[in-house]
Amino acid sequence: MIEAAALSEFFEGRRIGEGKYLSLCPLCSSKSETLYLTDGRKGTLIYCHSGCDKEDVLAEVGLKLQDLFSNSHTFVKPPYDPAEDLHRVDIIRSFIKEKKEKGEPILYSDVVFANQVKARLKSHNCWKPLNV
């Protein structure tokens, strides 16, 4: 991963704050500094305020977009835990019961969310219908 400080040296930029740099864009005909380089959480951010494509700007110095980001922190999706959805079902049921008691309308978005939770539980054979 190339940090903003090192990248600003390619573009002969200047520091404007902590992890922030400004320089002339090598593609623009503008005489003002329009290229912003910033250290982000997962990599270096690059933006030209004149509208130049960041990949073209990087290609000018022989870099690619993936050079700005580290691949060491890959996200691993945790396994599905039906207990979380079962808890959501209890909350949804009490919420709907409360609305019915107050005479308030049940929103379409509430029903859609409830059906999504139900579908996830059914797909994992964890759906337990309400015993009335």
What is the per-residue pLDDT for 37? 93
What is the per-residue pLDDT for 132? 46
Residue ranges of the chain with per-residue pLDDT less than 70: 71-75, 130-132
Contact 25, 52 (CB under 8 A): yes
Instruction: Please report, for the chain, the start and end positions of each structural domain, with discontinuous segments joined by +.
Output: 4-68, 82-123
What is the per-residue pLDDT for 4? 87
pLDDT tens for each residue of 53-77:
989 988 888 888 888 887 655 667 7
What is the per-residue pLDDT for 15? 93
